[in-house]
Structure 1
């Protein structure tokens, strides 16, 4: 089989590529040189011929002898390469001419610029005739320009020479085949057999003692190495096949584990997506709560400033000399101050209630609570408020079931619902309280009003913190957190709260609590005095020590004590002086503020308990620190009572009377039963 790109053909090509350019360069050099010589020769010959004709024709031009000029031109017949000739006088008129028989072009009518030119394959020459510097005329010659014919002849010669060079190269390559290509081709034949059959035991013959022979030896060594490696590879392949089977089994196990992992990832992804949705909802709720809180702060500022405005305004009138007022007006102004102060205290208590619930500091006393008494008390407390707006209160007379709840907190819940029903009712409307058995073991207490009702959006956001029943700030008094406190108190008591409302008709709030069996209520004894509380044992004088750094608060307590002639009040502006007065006067009771300059109320109480002279003196905290943790800390520190400012006079009087009564009763008992003296 002939291989077009075999080594032999490549060798022939190399020889041809070496010889052929050399031949072509040689021929081209000869052609260029010959054409240059030819052109130089013909131009020199034409110039000489023109000068000769001009010299011979000068007398004819001088004597106007046209015949002589024609005879001179007729001599051009002896030059077959010259096709035509002409002589022009000094004025450029044709004087004589010559044309060969084969020429049909004629001569120019006027002489051209002196020199050579080539037109239509003809070489033309214009040569001026002068005599002693005088222009006599012009000679014109036209001859054959055979450069193209000579070039074609040389190209043909070059082709023949190239063919002869290729033939020589082929003959040389045949001779070199046995010397160069045969050893290499023998190695190639062995390599093809090895590739085709896979028999690496074959060996290439060594021909000669040159580099090709060394190549054959290296090739044979390579085949021997390949044979050894092949046997090792077959052994390794068997081992790899065994390992591959093991990998396949391991891969199947990995695929199974991957499927389980994908399933787990899918489950975790679903859980994460659910968590993200819950987080987004929580963030949205937090955003809504923050917006409501911002609105609450604005509303709270208004609500707190409103009663403060009345308190400070009427107080300024009472203390102003420029605004005289009658005794009746002073009493009226004082009532306004008292009403505004109580309203301000209610606002603060609502905020404190929410703080207690949020911190988990609310302690409930769950017990069976009879509804008739609770509803009767609520009706009595709400009746004056309803009467001011002409609103009728309708309470049931058939609710005899007991519920499990904290009595105080249940009363707070019902009062809040009734207060809202009156506050957001229309003038002359009605509030209906009712109770029904909603399910076995559950009692629903409902409060329905005839107000403007709530929209669905208002109902949805009703129990969120700081929401004011959808009302704008200033429309109705209140903090907007009463319903939040109510809802959480109900939930702490194990109940539920809900609402249904129709715009323009009214709203109904309901509370569901667990029922319990009725229990007999204890028969109430005689009522205790409203203000005095427990009576103080009779003594000529009872000394109180009040440690307070605020002069206004001190003045208030002094005015309260002034109506109790049996009480003597000592005062101190700081804890250090109060401690010294307590040691010096041994008061029966100490009223102690917490936030004092230099020494706090807790520090003073600690030093009193450490001193035997003052260790037994009871102390009542009278402070504005009203948070649940503050109250717990005060009781734990050893205060017998913890009163929160602003002072409620009834509570204040009852705390003093109860503490003094307990202390003096213990003293009387110790005096009646003295301890026996120890014998020395």
Structure 2
């Protein structure tokens, strides 16, 4: 009876455990599947809402209308799960927001990368707003995450189902257990007697025709062979013991090899992770290098094309048989060519100096250098440049520096001082001053300071001052040059075992200080101007067509004036910066506007955008005339709304062709309107 009860209990336990495991796996999979679908559905729904909001808000971003964006976000009140939303502009600033509740809502300070993430009981989603392939903003949505409540509901349902199923299985097994346990108990009792009495003649009864009956037959057959098997087992017992010992040793060896293999796998995994990290760093460095290369090529293209424009343009006029020139004009054009050529040579020398310094191929001859001689030579070369703008240059008295001997490369030291002095003159006020002073810091160190009375620099400009193409923090186009002179200067000072520092106060001026070893105890050149070509008499067909040229470079303006002078059907007026160009366009209503892109204060693209916003000028065709000749620059210019895009140096035939085609289009539009 005890055996029957024990078997029955074990059978019930097995069935209950199996039922519980099956229910647990099934219910768990169903809950996990549903919760996963719920999470995915929630994220997909938020992505759809974000895409719809982004599409609806793109116009508000384009026209800078936060109110319209706010109204679009307010439509999310029909989505009760969305409790907050925001729109960020392309600069990452908060443009418009929406909150479903009355309590204060905290919005992100900056947009994050596109994607969704869970934060507490909320799901946050960022999605970029893309218009015509360009990202113009970011949508942020925050929705209530009901995952916990849904999980608790499922767990309650699962608990009820499992309790009901387990109870049903228990009742069934209590009723049906005797059918299985009675034959087994009979075999058990016979086996107990055989073990106790060693009487192998006993046989278990056969009850029924199921597997239990087959068990009894097998048990009886086993009893017949037990005696014979017992003797055989005794004989083979010793062999079995030996095999067991060998198997144990083999298992221990296998475990040892497995541990070694796991250790090697861990090492290889770590090596692979390190290799992947190094590869990612290499890829990132390659990407940054490629971006730097692109920026260098773009800047060099603009800087080299600007003087080339004047050289090739005036050369085309001088060599053209269809454009006769006087002797005075030829001398003037040759002067422009010579000036631009010298400027181009300066640019090339600066680039070569930077390349030598960066590659480490530059060699210095460190030797004692008399400071007085160097300052005298620099003063002789700098004073004519300063006199042209009425700038006073003050050097220390010769007696103060005659005895000073520096340990430096004479040629490079002169280059450093000339660069600092020329910058102080270039970015100084008219009738300003430049002061060069010397101070003995210690027995073996001398400090040389160059102070100017220019416009000075802000702290953010000082942080990036010694970066290539910075141009002392001035706007692009305000001063000629590559902006790499200070980079070369700093590298040369460092190669001569010296240091260079700068301090500046906006509106007061700047001080550049270099410190070297001793062997003994901004106003822009290009201001706003208006230049008009000589008024030409009207031809037989009527009044000359009026052209407005917005250009800050006098040589480029002079070139276009000379080109237009040979065309009696054209009349040219000019402006030296963007605001003046807008004023002249409003006052004169020209038929065509020629626009440089790199203008001081207000770029050509910004001027074009303002023209397109004003009803009286939005239909005036604007032709870009710029040294920004990279393919992406041209694509961006055409996309911004320029009628045509001409690059410097100017090709006179293409220039005239662009003017003629634009005038022909204007005539065709007037004819169609009439």
Q: TM-score range by the shorter chain?
A: 0.3 to 0.5
Q: What is the TM-score normalised by the length of structure 1?
A: 0.40
Tell me which structure has the larger Cα radius of gyration.
Answer: 1
Q: Which has the higher contact order (CA 8 A, sep 6+)?
A: 2
- TM-score, reference length from structure 2: 0.40
